[in-house]
Amino acid sequence: MKTLSLNEKIGQLLMVGVPDEKFESLIYRRMKSQKIASYILFKKNTPNATVTQSLTGKLHHMAEKAGISPIFIAIDQEYGRVTRISEGVTRFPAAYGFGRTNNPDYTFDACQIAGQELSALGINVNFAPVADVNTNPANPVIGTRSYGEDPENVAIMVQHAIRGYQDAGMICAAKHFPGHGDVDIDSHLSLPVSNKSLDALHSAELIPFIASISESVPIIMTAHIMHPMIDPKWPVTLSSLFLTKLLRTDLDYKGIIISDDLEMKALTKFGDIEDLAVQMILAGCDMLIISENLTHDVSVDTVYQALVDAVQNNVISESRLDQSVERILRLKKSISQNQRTSKEVVKHPKHVEKSIQIMREIFFENPDSTHFPVPVAPERLMIISDVLELHDIWPSLKINRLLLKPDQPVKSIQSMISTANEIFIFLSNISYLDQLNTINFFHYQRIRFFSLNNPYIQSKIQIPLTSYINLYSECLPLEIFDGLIFASSQ
């Protein structure tokens, strides 16, 4: 601490995104001049395991050259809807699927495997597990990212997730404090407001976070949520009542508090982002994320300079700055290149076997799954989906496929399904139900509906279904169907 300059200390506070092309000169400038020592990756950076490992190798090498190693390289690899690396790694269900198995050992195993594989790819921070309780069916942003609706069960799953990551040597983060599950607005787009009291939060939302703290979770991420009953002025990320009094003092949390992305629209009504960044540090944040992945209207340089100016003008005291830097350096001290696991563990056959075991149990947990395997003649099957990736289901088989699009004429859909005996509908976006509900299906057609996103979608379906099966936010890769659907026809 005594050897660090002000610029080096400020560089520890920021975690920024990596451009998808020609990033070396920009990132090296940030490493060398601004000493920014934490980076976050998104799907644009990580199309597969090989590209990911190459990218992180460059970042680690550049950091060593710039004299700021070790650096944090972070990712949101939750699985399910939020999966940044989908090719070349072991796939796992979304958290909601794990919650339905009621088997915390599966959560431990999956997070241990995920931690090992991410580490082998050069990543040392995973922003998971989601500790939110899915208490609002209208929640547009959490849903199946949560382990479920019961706070105590969510807490147990979160604890086992943290233990799994820790066993693999992976730094993990509980998010989104104090709970993002009971709002009906996406904070990426606007400001969610919850009118819960502090007592109400203690009875539900805070339970998994208290459990996380008991497991010494190294990072907690804040939520951009307004709680006017508790702090009428600031949302959580900007609130000292939440971050310093509640989380740091009352709950005795000693790890790193990191903001959710500063590019999210929930913050815009409170002022200029550079001023808000200063307020976040004053409120109790140790690190700030600027993803450069959403709006691209938050300047890393402007925020950086605002923090420098705030310390030089004693708006942020040197002692307050040092508190955050010490926490960050203490956690970085636990990072060792020797702890990185071998590339051989990535998608190891034993990992894939465990994944399929978990996925099959989740699949057959659905009451309507018990009729599988189903003998289906591929030429008599129609697959309808709104997800582009599903357009290539079983490419070796000649199956009729229909990719739903906005404003697609119902007559064209009606015509395409006329020759099908068996219809599989894989639906992620509930808005397409209006199209599907107006179609006249034939009495001889067996219609199997697979919900990919919203576990509450069933109540809005007017189609005469043969079965309704939750896949919990695309958490079950389609290899789960191998040997099930076409068992009698291949």
Angle at 225 between CA 222 and CA 230, to 5 degrees: 100
Q: Quick one: CA torsion of 323, 328, 330, 335, rounded to 10 degrees?
A: 180
Q: Which amino acid is at 371?
A: H
Closest CA to 281 of 246, 317, 254: 317
Residue 367 contacts by C-beta under 8 Å, 6 or more apart in sequence? none
Sheet containing strand 446-451, strands side by side: 400-403, 381-385, 422-427, 446-451, 467-470
Is 260 marked active-site? yes
DSSP string, 136-149: -TT-SSSGGGSS-S
Counting every residue written for the chain, the total comes to: 490
DSSP string, 294-357: S---S-HHHHHHHHHHHHHTTSS-HHHHHHHHHHHHHHHTT--GGGPPPGGGTT-HHHHHHHHH
- Residue 216, classified by CB atoms within 10 Å of its CB into exposed (0-12), middle (13-18) or buried (19+), is exposed
Closest CA to 50 of 128, 125, 120, 127: 120
Cα separation, 39 vs 114, whole angstroms: 19
Q: Quick one: CA torsion of 23, 76, 124, 214, rounded to 10 degrees?
A: 150
Q: Which amino acid is at 224?
A: H
Q: Which amino acid is at 253?
A: Y
**CA distances in angstroms from 61 to 41, 337, 348, listed in the order given:** 16, 12, 26
| Active-site option among 260, 261, 286, 386 | 260
Mutual angle of helices 300-312 and 6-13, in 10-degree steps: 130
Helix (H) or strand (E) run with residue 222 in it: strand 219-222
**CA distances in angstroms from 234 to 263, 340, 407, listed in the order given:** 17, 40, 41
Closest CA to 28 of 57, 55, 66: 66
Question: Which residues are catalytic, by number?
Answer: 260
